[in-house]
Amino acid sequence: MRTIFFLLMLMTAITSCHATLTDNKELIEKMETKDIITLVEKNDLQGVTTALANGANVNTADNSKRSLLLIATNNRQTEMAKLLVKYKADVNQQADNLDSPFLYAGASGQTELVQLFLDNGARFDVFNRYYGSALIPACERGHVETVRLLANTKGYPVNHVNRLGWTGLMEAIVLGDGSKKYQQIVQILKDAGAKMDIPDHDGVTPLQHAQQRGFNEIAALLQP
């Protein structure tokens, strides 16, 4: 009887010990996740290098599912982004809001990072919450060099239409101000072979939008 009681006590102790070890492991993992996110946010290159060299997950994400690389891209931390890519960070990993490092780099006009991500597996079939590409918001915001890079990248979908029914060309006209940089963007898209006559959901063409807004220089570029 005593032997049975002893075995039961031993089994209980082992189970309790295992549960404690499991709990401790989960706690350590959570602490490590928080630590490397903090290091990236602080732009601590040495700290992140050490953490990654010791086995930290380079695709760790925060509570909004922003990856380390997206956090670095959000913060315009170019060297940090390069470090994370060196450790094979996923340039297409999406957060809750569907931003990815590649999509955000394009939207924010970080041309150097766009090139880095293109060189490291950027996908052209991953879209933002508007079902838009990296190019479309770059056109909208007048990021000339980013548009030039993307439009001249082999296989890039320059004619992609987002959920609003707009291409990059359309956004440059509808949401731009007709200034020199938007004229340049229209010319770049035209030279890259983008279609100049894809209408919006209402059937209004880029030329008609340009004419309605008095963007004469752009309208001239769009004339057949």
Start-end of CATH 1.25.40.20 domains in the chain: 27-99, 130-224
Determine the 3-state secondary structure of 113 from DSSP. helix
Residue 206's pLDDT is what?
98
- The pair of structure tokens assigned to 163 is 């959920």
> 130-224 sits in which CATH class?
mainly alpha
Residue 224's pLDDT is what?
85
Environment class of residue 20 by beta-carbon count within 10 Å: exposed (0-12), middle (13-18) or buried (19+)? Answer: exposed
Q: Please tell me the pTM assigned to this model.
A: 0.86
* End-to-end C-alpha distance for the chain, whole angstroms: 98
Query: Can you tell me the distance from the alpha carbon of 108 to that of 170, in angstroms, rounded to the nearest whole number?
Result: 18
Which residues of the chain are modeled with pLDDT < 50? 17, 19-31
> 27-99 sits in which CATH class?
mainly alpha
Summarised one tens digit per residue, pLDDT across range 130-186 is 999 999 999 999 999 999 999 999 999 999 999 999 999 999 999 999 999 999 999
Residue 20's pLDDT is what?
44
User: Chain centroid to CA 5: how far?
Assistant: 60
Give the residue from 198, 200, 220, 202 showing the smallest Cα distance to 210.
Answer: 220
